[in-house]
Amino acid sequence: MRESKQFKQACKQKKGKTRRSAFRDASRRYKFSEYALHTYAKQFNHSWLGDHLDSQSIQKIATRAFKAVEQYAFGKRGKPRFKGKNQFDSVEGKSNKTGIRWRDDHVVWLGLKFRA
């Protein structure tokens, strides 16, 4: 997206509504959105990853990845780094009703019970 003519022309414009609109159009054209990444991440529910994570956790990971790339795209943070094997330290769910759930004195996750 950043290499496209549309994006580069938007960068040259003065700050304001037209510039924001041009960036928004470029984002839509290249499907640069959190929900587009959620759609892409659906395929992982049907792979080995789906055996270990529920769909809400996969969506939260996709959201986390998108926010990192988005901040890099807008110049707010440095280049995001790929998390390799044994480097992904935390996983979260969207609510306490699905995925990773806290129950009294233990955590329930995909049928497993972990004492806390």
pTM, entire model: 0.79
The set of residues, in sequence order, having a beta carbon less than 8 Å from that of 66 and lying 6+ positions away, is 33, 34, 37
Could you read off the pLDDT of 43-55 as tens digits, one per residue? 988 888 888 888 8
Give the pLDDT of residue 79: 93
Locate the domains of the chain by residue range: 1-31, 33-80+92-116
Burial of 97 (0-12, 13-18, 19+ CB in 10 A): exposed
Could you read off the pLDDT of 47-89 as tens digits, one per residue? 888 888 888 889 999 999 999 999 998 889 999 998 888 888 8
